[in-house]
Amino acid sequence: MPAFETLLSPVILFFVLGAAAAAARSDLAVPEPLAKSLSLYLMAAIGLKGGVQVSQAGFTPQLFQVSITGIALSFALPILAFALLRGFARLDRLNAGAVAAHYGSVSIVTFVTASDALTRSGIPPAGYMVAVMAMMETPAVITGILLARGSGTVTAGQRGKLLREVLLNGSVVLLLGAFLIGLLLGKDRFVPIAPVFVTGFTGLLCLFLLDMGLIAMRRLRESRALSGRLVMLGLALPLINGATGLGAAALLGLDPGTGAALAMLTASASYIAVPAAVRLALPDADPGIYLSMSLAVTFPFNILLGIPLVIQLGPLVLA
């Protein structure tokens, strides 16, 4: 699918509509209960479909290799982000570590949007990437906190709360739980509920992206903590990290769809799970920096440009 066609997909256009409405200061809004319901639906749907696909393909050595690679990348990518944030953006250690944690973890919505675009382009990612995505959320938090604290230590009480916050985060629980349900159901037993989780998926994703467009633009408009250098890194890091993920996919010999999905995972930045963990572990870090960078800069960049770019490059690099 050409990049222009990707930009004209209904999912992307609804995101643009939301951003444009917020930029024009419209009172358009998605009610909070509906937004939360849409989020739950999307995570359940992607988990179920991934589990069903794995139930058909079975557990393979490639699944294990990609999982280990994803975890390793999640641990490592914050180190590069931290160095750039400290050196180029001149950010203090605490906030640099907090931001770096976001850029080693993943954005579920970016992955869902990319998976939908890749599938419509004829290069669907492997179903097991849902499990890989869930495993990539946590390691970056550990690296980011260690970088932020330097030689400092985490108390036993803080460590227990942090582990609970990360491992029992609602998105992780629902994704892995739905994945296991899909794995147990298999294709035949999934058929009765397929109309809800397959047929209606793209339409509900459009409404969710409308809400995300509204939130992203309003966050960007209201933020006073972002410097020009931070904005530049918010645009550069997804390119650097995405290229790293694409290179890893080439080394693993992944097919274009699965490799592109891995690239989008590494290119994305968390704005749901990691902010919750950082708020607990690094309460003095400025959310006006780490949340605005991940949600208001990197997320729109990936939705509008990152996904079309990886759809074009994936088949070329991974052919």
Q: What is the CATH number of the domain that holds 41?
A: 1.20.1530.20
- Give the DSSP H/E element, type plus range, for residue 317: helix 307-317
Nearest to 55 by CA among 141, 183, 228: 183
Q: Tell me, what's the pLDDT at 166?
A: 60
Question: pLDDT-derived band of residue 254, with 50, 70 and 90 as boundaries?
Answer: very high
Q: Tell me, what's the pLDDT at 169?
A: 63
Tokens of 174: 């629902």
- Helix 139-149 to helix 156-167 angle (10° resolution) is 150
**Looking at residue 191, what DSSP letter applies?**
G
CB atoms within 10 A of CB 2: 11
Q: Tell me, what's the pLDDT at 279?
A: 76
CB 198 within 8 A of CB 300: no
Sign of the torsion formed by the C-alpha atoms of 168, 103, 261 and 300: positive
Predicted TM-score (pTM) of this structure: 0.79
Residues above pLDDT 90, as percent of the chain: 38
33 three-state secondary structure = helix
Question: For residue range 7-54, what is the model confidence (pLDDT) as tens digits?
Answer: 667 888 898 899 899 889 999 998 988 988 888 888 788 788 888 877
Q: Which residues contact 1 (CB under 8 A, 6 or more apart)?
A: 117, 120, 121, 122, 311
Burial 146-182 (b: 16+ CB within 10 A, else e): bbbeeeeeeeeeeeeebeebbeebebbebbbbbbebb
135: amino acid identity, one letter: M
**Looking at residue 195, what DSSP letter applies?**
I
What whole-number distance in Å separates Cα of residue 230 and Cα of residue 290? 10
For residue 153, pLDDT beyond 60:
no
Question: pLDDT-derived band of residue 84, with 50, 70 and 90 as boundaries?
Answer: very high
Nearest to 102 by CA among 304, 276, 236: 276
For residue 157, pLDDT beyond 70:
no
- Domain of residue 49 covers 3-23+31-317
For residue 1, pLDDT beyond 60:
no
The domain tally of the chain equals 1
